[in-house]
Structure 1
Amino acid sequence: MKIVKVETFLVPPRWLFLRVETDDGIVGWGEPIVEGRAESVAAAVTTLAERLGGADPTAIEDHWQVLAKGGFYRGGPVLSSALAGIDQALWDIKGKALGVPVHELLGGPVRRRARVYRWVGGNRAADLADDGVRAVEAGFDAVKCNPTGQLRHIEGPAAVREIVDRLTVLRESVGPAVDIAVDFHGRFSTAMARRVLPLLEPLMPMFVEEPVLPEFSRDLARVTAATSIPIATGERLYSRWDFRDVLPTGIAVAQPDLSHAGGISEVRRIAAMAEAYDVALAPHCPLGPIALAASLQIAFAVPNFLIQEQSLDIHQSHGNQLLDHLVDPAVFRFADGHVERPTGPGLGIEIDETAVRRAARTGHRWRNSVWRHVDGSFAEW
């Protein structure tokens, strides 16, 4: 079996799909993407694919080593994401060739079903609470939200109080049996994290995600020491070497992204490293169906998995687009806040290639917002 073709597709709303075809007709799919930099990642895939023509797709680890390190310059979000999508596709091919799910090739399943959470949002506290109630009514017992807009390096009492009040209203609306995860998107300075997090402790969040920017990961020990709330981070860390310095800081949850951090191969290694530090794994995934399918293969193979992010109805803006490109959407049926173990070969999904090619004719040029403070200076989004 040899690789004969590699293609990428810009798929709305903000995704990049990868198709790898072999000479015996097996096709593997991956999702290499840096949100807002899809064109750059597609170009990187094209460059890396030069080494794959005519190669055996089942030699996954050798391909990973060569693609990650063979260009002398290595790492970073674009190259690591290009590699991630290729890695996903190669695992998909190998699983399909052997007729088994990828998690069977990673040692077999360690659980019957995996817990998932849904994003909730709203411009007002009441809207956030209403969305939380809708999530619970849909069967989810865990939700995640971002309760802030732009923040200054050090905010005063009014802004701090607004954060606490919004989360209090959400907690009161969903009740104590529902877990709430909070994503601060790196908008806090270390000082603000130390100020705000202790005030949230009575609400008992499941975790607080990325309270500070990844550039300040070395300061996470000061953040974790200031609060009893479990701290999560990792969506902007791209390798086991990035996590090596973060895991000893006292974080509770590692959040590598299967489309950014080197794919299934690397995230499996990151999960094993995290386990040695008593850190749980909650893969980051506000992306498309291929990224979610790859994430779930890890979720069913690693013992320290906690919960899985997914983008169905994210902020009520994308509808059911997570399911639009699947032949059988039932593989992502969420019930009682969980998804059942996928049993199909490879990544466990069948992509509707006609729908993908049709969507790619429209494509996208998605970019994140650029925020500014009232004085005109740049603000974290």
Structure 2
Amino acid sequence: MRITDYELFEVPPRWLFLRLETNDGVVGWGEPVVQGRARTVRTAVEELLDNYLVGEDPLPIEHHWQRMYRGDFYRGGPVLMSAIAGIDQALWDIKGKHYGAPVYELLGGYARERVRVHHWLGFETADDIGTLARSLVEEHGFTALKMNATAELERIDTPRAVKEASARLGRVRDAVGDDVDIGIDFHGRASKSMAKRLVTAFEEHDPMFYEKPVLPEHNDVLGDLAQRTSVPISTGERLYTRWDFKPVVREGHVDIIQPDLSHAGGITEVRKIATMAEAFDITVMPHCPLGPIALASCLQVDACSPNAILQEQGLDLHLEEANQALRYLSDPSVFDYEDGYLSLPAEPGLGVDIDESAVRDAADHSVDWHNPVWYHRDGSVAEW
């Protein structure tokens, strides 16, 4: 078996899909993308495939991963690791289909029978967000939710900003009660000065975790934040290799890591990151505000990682109508939620059947997504 061809599709809302084909007709799919930099990653994917993989046997995935990573003098970072990630996903999809087994079976078999997921709450006002939270719990059965800590923050903001952020979280807690977990995503918007104030203010509402309380370049302050709160701290969305995660895991200030299967080297690398974390009693919650291929890849790692605790999903995160993303699947039922859980994919490979005609139709429309640029009151650029 040899890799003979590939295609890349940029599709709404902000995703890049890779179709990898072999000479015996087996097709693997991957999702290599940096949100807002799809065209840049596309070029990196093309360079890697043309230089290393077209014409090769797809099955020795570890060997291919090492060649793609170590074959260049300059390594790591979001673009190159996202390109490797999407290719790696497609290779595992091919390998699973070749052997007639889900990927997690090739990685040792499942450690759990289903995967708990959380739902995103969006940017609603304090009044609306409580209503939405109650609906997700009562009507759809979710037992875990996630919300932003704040909108744009000044480097040192007012007492009102802190009180309003805490009140917003309080609305959600009051709406869903104490049997539902609520994760708080700081999104890297808070300076360390504001993070210290917010982790203290939020604690009365019993959050499940604080995600990215500071930017990764300031991870050296996580120890100080951990001393100020009993709430678990998580990070990892903007870390791309096991070597990026090594100091975070070793220093012991983080309770949860969040590697992204489309940014951190794919299934091959995230599986190693999860295993490294397990040795330090750190849990794994894969980051995934992306599309169906990325989510399917996450579920493969969740299935066989004993320390995986919760899976992010964003299939309706940036779409006007919930679950429009499922149009890219021939059988959307693979992502049917039950009591806030997803069943393990049962089909070979990644376990999703991509509707190629839907992908090709969507790729005919222009996609040019970039995250907004926010500004402080004095006109300086703020963190988004």
The alignment's TM-score, normalised by the length of structure 1, stands at: 0.98
Structure 2 equivalent of residue 185 of structure 1: 187
Rounded to whole Å, the distance in 1 between the matches of 2:65 and 2:212 is 28
Cα deviation, residue 37, structure 1: 0.2
Rounded to whole Å, the distance in 1 between the matches of 2:350 and 2:343 is 14
Rounded to whole Å, the distance in 2 between the matches of 1:153 and 1:291 is 34
Partner amino acid, structure 2, of 1:58: L
Rounded to whole Å, the distance in 1 between the matches of 2:122 and 2:3 is 43
Rounded to whole Å, the distance in 1 between the matches of 2:13 and 2:323 is 11
Note the alpha carbon deviations across 1:39-84, whole angstroms, 9 max, x for none. 0000000000111111010010010001011011111000000000
Contact (CA 8 Å) 1:118, 1:312: kept in 2 or not? no
Aligned pair 1:87/2:70, yes or no?
no
Note the alpha carbon deviations across 1:254-282, whole angstroms, 9 max, x for none. 00000000000000000011111111100
Rounded to whole Å, the distance in 2 between the matches of 1:255 and 1:72 is 27
Contact (CA 8 Å) 1:121, 1:131: kept in 2 or not? no
Aligned pair 1:158/2:160, yes or no?
yes
Cα deviation, residue 316, structure 1: 6.6
How many residues end up aligned between the 2 structures?
381
CA 1:316 to 1:19, structure 2 compared with 1: closer, same or farther past 3 Å?
Answer: closer
Structure 1 equivalent of residue 238 of structure 2: 236
Partner amino acid, structure 2, of 1:337: G
Partner amino acid, structure 1, of 2:218: F
Partner amino acid, structure 1, of 2:2: K
Partner amino acid, structure 2, of 1:222: D
Partner amino acid, structure 1, of 2:68: L
Contact (CA 8 Å) 2:102, 2:345: kept in 1 or not? yes
Structure 2 equivalent of residue 327 of structure 1: 330
Structure 2 equivalent of residue 7 of structure 1: 7
Structure 1 equivalent of residue 263 of structure 2: 260
CA 1:62 to 1:315, structure 2 compared with 1: closer, same or farther past 3 Å?
Answer: closer
Contact (CA 8 Å) 2:336, 2:342: kept in 1 or not? yes
Rounded to whole Å, the distance in 1 between the matches of 2:161 and 2:104 is 45
The runs of at least 4 consecutive aligned structure 1 residues that moved more than 2 Å come to 312-319
Counterparts in 2 of 1:188-199, with a 5 A limit? 188-199=190-201
Rounded to whole Å, the distance in 1 between the matches of 2:318 and 2:68 is 36
Counterparts in 2 of 1:23-42, with a 5 A limit? 23-42=23-42
Rounded to whole Å, the distance in 2 between the matches of 1:194 and 1:317 is 35
Aligned pair 1:209/2:211, yes or no?
yes
Structure 1 equivalent of residue 373 of structure 2: 370
Moved more, 191-200 or 58-67: 191-200
CA 1:119 to 1:315, structure 2 compared with 1: closer, same or farther past 3 Å?
Answer: farther
> In percent, how many aligned pairs have the same letter?
56
Rounded to whole Å, the distance in 2 between the matches of 1:175 and 1:187 is 27
Segments of structure 1 that go 5 or more residues without pairing to the other structure are none
Partner amino acid, structure 2, of 1:68: Y
Rounded to whole Å, the distance in 2 between the matches of 1:49 and 1:251 is 36
Contact (CA 8 Å) 1:121, 1:127: kept in 2 or not? no
Rounded to whole Å, the distance in 2 between the matches of 1:122 and 1:26 is 42
Contact (CA 8 Å) 1:194, 1:227: kept in 2 or not? no
Structure 2 equivalent of residue 70 of structure 1: 71
Partner amino acid, structure 2, of 1:292: L
Cα deviation, residue 241, structure 1: 0.5
Structure 2 equivalent of residue 131 of structure 1: 132
Structure 2 equivalent of residue 112 of structure 1: 113
Rounded to whole Å, the distance in 2 between the matches of 1:278 and 1:147 is 26
Note the alpha carbon deviations across 1:147-166, whole angstroms, 9 max, x for none. 41100111121101011100
- For residue 300 of structure 1, give the secondary structure of its aligned residue in structure 2: helix
Query: 2:227 pairs with 225, 228, 233, which one?
Result: 225
Aligned pair 1:308/2:298, yes or no?
no
Rounded to whole Å, the distance in 2 between the matches of 1:233 and 1:227 is 16
Cα deviation, residue 133, structure 1: 1.2
Moved more, 30-39 or 305-314: 305-314
CA 1:57 to 1:217, structure 2 compared with 1: closer, same or farther past 3 Å?
Answer: same
Note the alpha carbon deviations across 1:95-143, whole angstroms, 9 max, x for none. 0000000000111001111100100124310111111112112110111
Rounded to whole Å, the distance in 2 between the matches of 1:69 and 1:52 is 14
Rounded to whole Å, the distance in 2 between the matches of 1:112 and 1:2 is 34
Note the alpha carbon deviations across 1:163-220, whole angstroms, 9 max, x for none. 1100001100111111100101001111211111122112111111001001111221
Rounded to whole Å, the distance in 2 between the matches of 1:315 and 1:30 is 20
